[in-house]
Every structure is written in structure tokens, then in C-alpha cells.
Structure 1
Amino acid sequence: MPMKPAPAGIPVSDLIDNAIAELGDWRGETLARLRALIHEADPDVVEEWKWGKPVWSHDGLICTGETYKAYVKTTFAKGASVADPKGLFNSSLDGNVRRAIDFKQDEPIDADAFKALVRAAVAVNKADQAARAVKKKG
């Protein structure tokens, strides 16, 4: 079920809740679990709704949450710059910037490794923001 564009005046958290509920299957449960892990990893994360899907940001885009028939995908905007010691990235591996994880039905989620990726993505965003600030001053 494709996620709809954000209607005006509806809180983003409600849009994400509704999208999860509309799925009504393992994909909704998986997306809800990933959302919870993102919040555990970064309590200051900002939820947004862009491109018809949930997006999580902190000093820049962290990742998106996308649902397809056979998997739930999280695409990390700067994933190629994020250390992945547990090898969670399994999609979009040939890109110069993004990396993604496809979560299939009944596959376990390594919660600790996923939260480490989220924290690493936030660190990349913060470093990029700091570098831009220094460049502006110089």
C-alpha cells in the first residue's frame, strides 16, 4: 500500500501512525519497530513526512522508512559515510552516497547494530554541519 502525501494540518507522528496501521501486517510491525529503535538511538530525532514516507532527521536527514510488498527498507541518506561493522547494509551498495537495509518478513532485526547505525548517521550529519560552519567562517 503506497503511503500518501502529507495533508496539511495533521501532525507527522499521526501520519506515521496511520501509515503503520494501514499496512496491517508484518510490514507495519517492522516499520513500527524500526521507528522505536530510531527514537531509542536518538531521543532528539525529528520525524518528518517527505516523498510520501516517514523520514527521520537530526542535523540533516538520517533515513527514510519505505514499505514494499516483500520488504521494509530504511535508506540512510549518507550511508556510504556511515561505519557498518555488523554489515547491516544490504541494498543500494553501489551508490556513492546512500546505503539501505531491506528487512524481509521473519528476519530478525539486530537492534543494537541498527541503533549504532542511527547514532553513526547522526554523527556524520553533525560533522558535516560543523565542517560547513567552519567553511562559512573561513
Structure 2
Amino acid sequence: MEKGESPTGMSPSQLIDAKIKELGDWRGEILSRLRALIKEADPDVVEEWKWRGVPVWSHAGLICTGETYKNVVKMTFAKGAALMDPSGLFNSSLDGNTRRAIDFHEGAHIDEEALKTLVRAAVALNSSKARSRSTKSN
């Protein structure tokens, strides 16, 4: 499922594919693996392409982004501060009131089950907020 196309006529999923291929190194491998885990955790996730080149995953609201920098792939959860993180995955952006991030460096181990649990929790949080908004408007 995709939302909107770019001026190039490419879908968000195609743009993410191109970004992974363009990186062509460990960052592309990590971004590709994170993307696969997000899709495993939530088969109904919507891929988007925002802010001039940032992969975004949404379901009833923004779940997370996948930003790539020279030395890190940063997975930022939009409402991370509201999520339980019993495995201690969040290691970045810990001071804010809303977002939390996980920085993956070259050679990083990904705790796949814990990450999928975090994605599912973010979807559940978005869905519960969406349901409460719809009941208030009725």
C-alpha cells in the first residue's frame, strides 16, 4: 500500500528501493533489514517518502522514519516516548517529550523480535488514538 507518488513518477516504495540501492553499503543493508522487519511486524504498513528523501512508515499515523547519515542509520519513532521499551532499544533522542530513536552503526546487531514488538506497540498506540478521535466526533 502506498501513498502518493513523487514528481519523478516513482512510488514511495520505489524511492525507498532506490535509496537502499544508492547507498550500496552497510547503511543500505541495515535500512533494508529495518524495512523488512517493519513490514513483518505490520503487513498493513504504508510506506511514504517525506522531507526530501526520508523513508517513513505509517499506520493510523506516523510510526517511524529511517534516516541515513554518514555513520549511522537512525530509526526515529514519532511517539517513542509513549512506548514501553523493555529491551532498551532506544539509544538516541532520549531527552525529548515525544520522539525516541535507535541509532544503528556499522556492524550493529538488530534485536529483531524486540524491534517488531516496538513497531507493533507504535501501531497499537496510533490505532487507539485514532479510535478515540473517531468516537469523540460521533
Structure 1 length normalisation: TM-score? 0.93
Tell me the residue number matched to 1:3.
none
Output the aligned Cα RMSD.
0.9
Q: Equivalent residue of 1:64, what SS?
A: strand
**In the alignment, is residue 13 of structure 1 matched against residue 13 of structure 2?**
yes
Shift of residue 90 of structure 1?
0.5
Spell out, residue by residue over 1:33-88, the C-alpha distance to the aligned partner (whole angstroms, 9 max, x if none).
Answer: 00000000000000000112110000000000000111100100011111111010
User: Residue in 1 aligned with 2:54?
Assistant: 53
Take 1:41 and 1:100, find their aligned partners in 2: how far apart are those partners? 18
What pairs up with 1:1-138 in 2 under 5 angstroms? Answer: 6-51=6-51, 52-137=53-138
User: Matched residues in 2 for 1:132 and 1:13: separation?
Assistant: 29
Structure 1 residue 135: Cα displacement: 2.1
Q: Distance in 1 between matches of 2:7 and 2:106?
A: 30
The runs of at least 4 consecutive aligned structure 1 residues that moved more than 3 Å come to: none
Aligned counterparts of 1:7 and 1:30: Cα–Cα separation in 2: 27
TM value normalised by structure 2: 0.93
**Offset of residue 32 of structure 1:** 0.2
Q: For this pair of structures, how many residues does the alignment match? A: 132
State the secondary structure of the residue aligned to 2:64: strand
Letter aligned with residue 96 of structure 1: N
Q: Could you give the per-residue CA deviations for residues 98-134 of structure 1, whole angstroms, max 9, x where no partner exists?
A: 1100001111000000000000000000011111112
Identity %: 68
